[in-house]
Structure 1
Amino acid sequence: MTQIQTVSDRIQTRKLSFLRGRAVYTKFIPIILINGKQAYIADKSTTSGLMECDTREEAREKAREYRDRAKSNLAVREKIEE
């Protein structure tokens, strides 16, 4: 597992469509940037394995929440290592 070195302030969302059964579902996926790379947020309760949001604003809010959590975990780890 790669160590988290940086967590960017930037967040992104991606609009994805899924074919489930005979219906097409369009969902928004929250993305945060860790170590300069896109990190999709996992959610084992969904069929896709990704966190799926109904609106872009909901996805942005989830991305902010997970970004802030990753930043605080990084700050705690750096403080412990000192």
Structure 2
Amino acid sequence: MSNLSLNHCSIRSLEIEKTTEFFSKVLGLTVGPRPEFPFPGVWLYNGDESSLANAVLHLIAIDKMILADLRNILEIVLLALYMDPAR
């Protein structure tokens, strides 16, 4: 069996609670302190939660409404590129 080494990775998620639960159960990580950022998220720790060096996985929540807006913008841009007679 190999040892897993994970250090300060970030994962974006539409379902932050389910993602937190998954990594907590599968890897045995624990939720710990996180600085105040202007967006929701969770830091998962491997070991002592008093050391930020042990915050090995950073989960970042994606707002579904913002994601929908980005899709709409992308569709408009793609349509404009498709209809561009200069192409």
Give the TM-score, by structure 1 length: 0.30
From the CA coordinates, give the structure whose radius of gyration is larger: 2
Larger helix proportion of the pair: 2
Larger strand proportion of the pair: 1
Give the TM-score, by structure 2 length: 0.29
